[in-house]
């Protein structure tokens, strides 16, 4: 979860988010070097008093500053495309969960266990206990096992929503009448917070997402307990 003083990305909690962080840092280095070079050139021009009155064209220079940016874009495009295809991969998920957006809460269905489905509402500020984050805690968390690939099917019952958990590198639009899918693998236990990332009405800011990542034995016990109820 992001803190008040945090300027960078959240700590990666999935292999996909780790790759996104690496790509962000890689691109930022390239942009920093380009910015320094451009400012150096501008300062050099401003501080120089020499002119060449016989200078009419510079085809060699124009060729260089056309080829170099093209190469830079290629070095950025290939990792970007690789990440896009990686984000679309859904190979042999261990578990499938359906997330449905409503105004203004989320409902979840464990499609592998037909009797397990519940609504997830934000806990009002007046009902929070010590240690629970304001506007982010819910009454029913999405419990998932870590170190197991999970597929999320995302849809909406009314208007456009977006199911997003930044620390997992996941953001998928919930479109009425359409079923979108995404997948991730939790690489550690803990609580991971997200929010609806598509403006969906008056209470758009009050439909958070909370994933509780637990060991498989704990998840199995939770499933058994819910099936018995």
What is the predicted pLDDT for the residue at 160? 95
Specify if 8 maps to a domain: no
Question: Based on the domain organization, do 67 and 103 belong to the same domain?
Answer: no
What is the predicted pLDDT for the residue at 60? 83
* Residue 101 φ then ψ, to 5°: -85, 140
What is the predicted pLDDT for the residue at 1? 66
CATH of the domain at 169: 2.60.40.420
Cα distance between residue 228 and residue 70, in whole Å: 61
Question: Based on the domain organization, do 105 and 125 belong to the same domain?
Answer: yes
Q: 89 is written with which tokens?
A: 């991969």
pLDDT tens for each residue of the chain, 229 residues long: 677 777 888 888 898 899 999 999 999 999 999 999 999 988 988 887 777 777 777 788 889 889 999 999 999 999 999 888 888 777 788 899 999 999 999 999 998 887 789 999 999 999 888 888 999 999 999 999 999 999 999 999 999 999 999 999 999 999 999 999 999 999 999 999 999 999 999 999 999 999 999 999 999 999 988 877 6
Q: In terms of Cα–Cα distance, which of 134, 135, 139 is closest to 118?
A: 139
Question: Based on the domain organization, do 145 and 128 belong to the same domain?
Answer: yes
Query: 132 to each of 92, 121, 178, how far by Cα in Å?
Result: 35, 14, 34
Residue 197 and residue 124 in contact, taking contact as beta carbons nearer than 8 Å: no
Those residues whose C-beta lies under 8 Å from the C-beta of residue 1, and which sit 6 or more positions away, are 10, 133, 136, 167, 191, 192, 193
Q: In terms of Cα–Cα distance, which of 50, 13, 28, 173 is closest to 101?
A: 173
3-state secondary structure of 59: helix
Question: Based on the domain organization, do 107 and 189 belong to the same domain?
Answer: yes
**Domain span including residue 222:** 95-228
Specify if 6 maps to a domain: no
Those residues whose C-beta lies under 8 Å from the C-beta of residue 99, and which sit 6 or more positions away, are 106, 107, 108, 142, 152, 153, 154, 155, 163, 174
What is the predicted pLDDT for the residue at 98? 94
Q: Where are the alpha helices (DSSP H) in the chain?
A: 15-47, 59-88, 216-228
What is the predicted pLDDT for the residue at 229? 65
**pTM for the full model?**
0.83
């Amino acid at each position: 979860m992001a803190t008040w003083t945090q300027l960078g990305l959240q700590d990666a909690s999935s292999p996909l988010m780790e790759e996104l962080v690496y790509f962000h840092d890689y691109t930022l280095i390239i942009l920093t070097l380009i910015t320094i070079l451009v400012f150096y050139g501008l300062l050099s021009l401003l501080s120089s008093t020499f002119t060449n009155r016989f200078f009419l064209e510079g085809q060699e220079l124009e060729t260089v500053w056309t080829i170099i940016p093209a190469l830079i874009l290629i070095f950025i495009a290939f990792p970007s495309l690789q990440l896009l295809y990686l984000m679309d991969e859904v190979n042999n998920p261990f578990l499938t969960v359906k997330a449905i957006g409503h105004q203004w809460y989320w409902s979840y269905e464990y499609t592998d266990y037909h009797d397990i489905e519940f609504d997830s509402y934000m806990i009002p500020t007046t009902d929070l206990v010590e240690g629970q984050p304001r506007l982010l805690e819910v009454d029913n968390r999405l419990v998932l096992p870590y170190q197991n690939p999970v597929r999320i099917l995302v849809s909406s019952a009314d208007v456009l929503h977006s199911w997003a958990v930044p620390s997992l590198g996941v953001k998928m639009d919930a479109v009425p009448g359409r079923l979108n899918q995404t997948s991730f693998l939790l690489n550690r236990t803990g609580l991971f917070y997200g929010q609806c990332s598509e403006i969906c009405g008056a209470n758009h800011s009050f439909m958070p997402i909370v994933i509780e990542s637990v060991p498989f034995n704990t998840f199995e016990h939770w499933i058994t307990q819910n099936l018995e109820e």
